[in-house]
Structure 1
Amino acid sequence: MPFIRSNDIVLFYRRAGRRGAPRIVFANSLGTDVAIWDEVANALAADFDLLFYDKRGHGLSEAAPTPRGIRDHADDLVGLLDHVGWQDTMLCGLSVGGLIAMDLAVRAPARITRLVLMDTAAKIGTPDAWNARIDAVLENGVASIGEAIMARWFSPAYRVEQPEAFSGWRRMLERTPAIGYAETCKALRDADLTDAITGISAPTLVIAGESDLSTPPSLVEETARRIPGAVFRIIDGAGHLPCIERPTDVAALVRGFSDMPTQ
């Protein structure tokens, strides 16, 4: 398994697809690991060079010894890109991964050829809500909030139609280390890129799941309006994780966006 030390954190990463093809790197949401992209990867692998990683405190990656913010998460990703020799890439970020992607697009625009932001926003939630979640997780573990989070992640239809998969994704969430989850919540609590994203220059596609309760489509669209020239799309029948519920639709949008001419 490939591991590297980046920005003083050991990260797990995975490569897929066709080496030398157009590049895409994927940044995950809170409480998830690289597995959420498996079906999207299968749909894109023939035509793209794909890179996935577990952000700090998640999956097989190390947790930070002290609190870190979105900028540190983005610097982790820069170290990974340098390690695999990618000077530039399309970047697809989901939820907190979208904030990581936005921060990188603002601070290192030469590294980002195109930007895909999925079910994310320049500012997500309120300090009070994040602090309550942090306290709950540190006191009782991620499993204590599992039911509430899953209800916000997935559409009602998915829970009924895919009960085994729903159970599996819940286990992924609840196995997230409490310290890694809580520290990422702190990064989300403290992040506000509302003004900064008006300076993003990369062509940008913004995607929202129709039934997302974590970052509702109206919030996602508000972020899209602040990014010059951004294209906004809604995926019907998907919640907060369209890459799981509607991977074919996600892959089609990403593929189509990669082929769009730049102005």
Structure 2
Amino acid sequence: MTESSFPSGYVPFDEARNSLPVPSSVCVAKSIELETVHIPGSDPALVFIHGGLGSLWNPYPQLATFEGEQELMTYSLAGNGNSSDRPTQSLDGHITDLVQLLDELGIDRPILHGHSYGTAIAIEYAKRHPTAGVILHAGGDHDLTPAWEKPLLRLFLALRLYRVPMDDALIRQLAYRVGFHEDTSPAVVEDFLRSNPLPHRHSAWETVTDAFWGYDGRPDINRIDAPTLVIHGPADGIVPLDVARWTANRIPESVFCRIERTGHVAMIERPAAYNTLIRALIETIREDLNLESVVRECVAEIDN
């Protein structure tokens, strides 16, 4: 893969992973340890929460870009990656894990970045705990499950297909069809898929079905008292654009940002534009500015 295959601001997965610390296990409960990468830096800390069947490495361009600028933390949800299984999978359980993880690492009032199903954890945490800022990408406060997902995951669970070695052809086909914008380079898609291999543990699939299906975070969402970016790609074939737009309308200090020529992973597809938005949120928090005004100033760059 050549540099010309990658968009502005892109950091290839191997380069990003090799530049970052090796993940370590952090104990958050008697029987639960979470696979975590924690990098010291300036406040506020950027905390990344991956989606269903995701990986702590999913935001690799952001981890590489903001290393040395901000305190960073990314982790595998319980039941995913090399994290311990939870006795029972539930959204409340994952929120409790995050509370304990942040406490163990001494992180106070973070910027929470939730991707896809991870937006549910970010929303519910921010309703209940002091948070410097929130970024919701490719998700929202309801209707996060596409119609095709339930029969597919039920089939994988019933037949235990996740245990069978395969070339992930089905997942790859879905990624190209519903996950990315048609103009996104195949080199970017393949690099992202390498950061997010299909999990072979029952618990990872169970996390989605038991913790996230049917999520509705609309009640009390106005309790989120932090500047919030809701970022979505118009080619997202998993979560509809209007779900994100309506979510932004319900959060008091929120700005909806549509990044053109992206799908479900705008942070990978157009990282320079995406990182500009993150920096706008950080500036808003540090300087106590109006988020909408700061974002408006960088819209021209984002839309180019």
TM-score range, shorter chain: 0.7 to 0.9
Distance between the aligned counterparts of 2:140 and 2:173, measured in 1?
A: 20
Between structures 1 and 2, the one with greater helix share:
1
Deviations 1:224-248 (A, max 9, x none): 1111121110111111111221222
CA-atom RMSD in angstroms: 2.3
Q: Identify if the C-alpha distance between structure 1 residues 102 and 81 changes in structure 2 by more than 3 Å, giving closer, same or farther.
A: same
2:139 corresponds in structure 1 to: 120
Partner of 1:62 in structure 2? 84
The answer to whether the 8 A contact 1:205-1:231 is kept is yes
Whole-Å Cα distance in 2 between the matches of residues 232 and 220 of structure 1?
A: 7
> Is the CA contact (8 Å cut-off) linking 1:221 and 1:232 kept in structure 2?
yes
Distance in 2 (alpha carbons) for counterparts of 1:192 and 1:176: 28
Q: Distance in 2 between matches of 1:76 and 1:120?
A: 21
SS in 1 for 2:213: helix
Deviations 1:95-140 (A, max 9, x none): 11111000001122x2x11111111111134697654233122124
1:144-223 to 2 correspondence within 5 Å?
A: 145-147=170-172, 149-150=174-175, 151-158=177-184, 161-163=185-187, 165-170=188-193, 172-223=196-247
Unaligned runs of 5+ in 1: none
Among residues 142, 155, 162, which one is paired with 1:136 in the alignment? Answer: 155
Matches within 5 A, 1:1-263: 1-7=23-29, 8-16=31-39, 18-66=40-88, 68-108=89-129, 110=130, 112-125=131-144, 131-138=150-157, 139-142=159-162, 143=168, 145-147=170-172, 149-150=174-175, 151-158=177-184, 161-163=185-187, 165-170=188-193, 172-260=196-284, 261-262=288-289
Equivalent-residue separation in structure 2 for 1:140 and 1:149 (angstroms): 19
- What is the CA–CA distance in structure 1 between the aligned matches of 2:78 and 2:243, rounded to whole Å? 26
Report the structure number with the largest CA radius of gyration.
2
- After TM superposition, the score normalised by the length of structure 2 is 0.77
Q: Post-superposition shift, 1:176?
A: 4.8
Residue ranges of structure 2 left out of the alignment (5+ in a row):
1-22, 163-167, 291-304
Deviations 1:39-69 (A, max 9, x none): 1122222321111111122222123233x22
Identity %: 25
Structure-2 change in CA distance of 1:255 and 1:82 (3 Å): same
SS of the residue 1:157 aligns to: coil
Amino acid at match of 2:171: G
